[in-house]
Amino acid sequence: MEEPKQIQVIRIGAEAIVSRLRWNGFDLVSKHRVPKPYRVPELDRWIRDRRTIREAKIIVELKRAGVPAPAIILLDRSSSTIYMQYIKGVELKKALDRLDPMKVVEIAGRLGEIVGRMHLRKIVHGDLTTSNVILDEAGRIYLIDFGLSSVTDDVEEFAVDIHLLDRSLESAHHKLRERFMRNFLLGYSKIVGRERALEVLGKVKEIRMRGRYVKRGG
């Protein structure tokens, strides 16, 4: 059995390095949590192990809930590395502005349904931006990067997910923002129900107002 061969580094984050690999004829993605030299070695190993296990468990739970995310192939606790399915596609951030308007509406609605299913399982993404949504060659969308995900029943945490998505649209896709969020929320409401959606949206508005207050006060 051959050793995995690195093809390219996809992302270098504060916590982990994400790489594309070729292994026994398959394309994979590895997410390796790197050691932090400023931490006590035993504590560093424990932190990286706990976070790796938590992320893997969340991905497995989301797959059970029908949330499209990369399938986990292998979990290597000795190196705090998750090996996952490689999804051939492009970040939604890079594709959104050149998509047909009707395709934008469709994707927004589907993403709303996906996030709704995630929130019904009491899971928040933690970094829900158009950079963490992959559009594959068949037009399907997948959520990626669950390093900041957590399990919660706090409505404000669900609202933070939606607020982050809204902010990413505002900064990178300003002209599409209103149409995208309107259809996203329609899809979201379809899954979680109108009452719950209105509750979460109320929290989104509170978060936005707090942000404006801080900016003015600063």
pLDDT tens digit at each of 218 positions of the chain: 567 787 889 999 888 999 999 988 889 999 999 999 899 999 999 999 999 999 999 999 999 999 999 999 999 999 999 999 999 999 999 999 999 999 999 999 999 999 999 999 999 999 999 999 999 989 999 999 999 999 999 999 999 999 999 999 999 999 999 999 999 999 999 999 999 999 999 999 999 888 754 443 44
100 noted as active-site residue: no
State whether residue 90 is helix, strand or coil: strand
φ, ψ of residue 19 to 5 degrees: the values are: -130, 155
What pLDDT sits at residue 51?
96
Say if residues 9 and 17 touch (Cβ distance below 8 Å).
yes
What pLDDT sits at residue 210?
82
Instruction: Give the global pTM.
Output: 0.91
Residue whose C-alpha is closest to residue 28's, from 54, 49, 2:
2
Say if residues 4 and 76 touch (Cβ distance below 8 Å).
no
Percent helix, strand, coil in the chain (nearest 5)? 55, 20, 25
Domains and CATH numbers, the chain: 5-85 (3.30.200.20), 89-217 (1.10.510.10)
Among candidate residues 76, 100, 127, 145, the one labeled active-site is 127
Q: Which two tokens stand for residue 87?
A: 């999804």
φ, ψ of residue 138 to 5 degrees: the values are: -95, 5
What pLDDT sits at residue 5?
81
CA distance 68 to 89: 14
What pLDDT sits at residue 2?
65
What pLDDT sits at residue 36?
92
CA distance 106 to 109: 5
What pLDDT sits at residue 1?
53
Radius of gyration of the chain (CA): 18
Residue whose C-alpha is closest to residue 70's, from 90, 88, 52:
88
State whether residue 25 is helix, strand or coil: coil
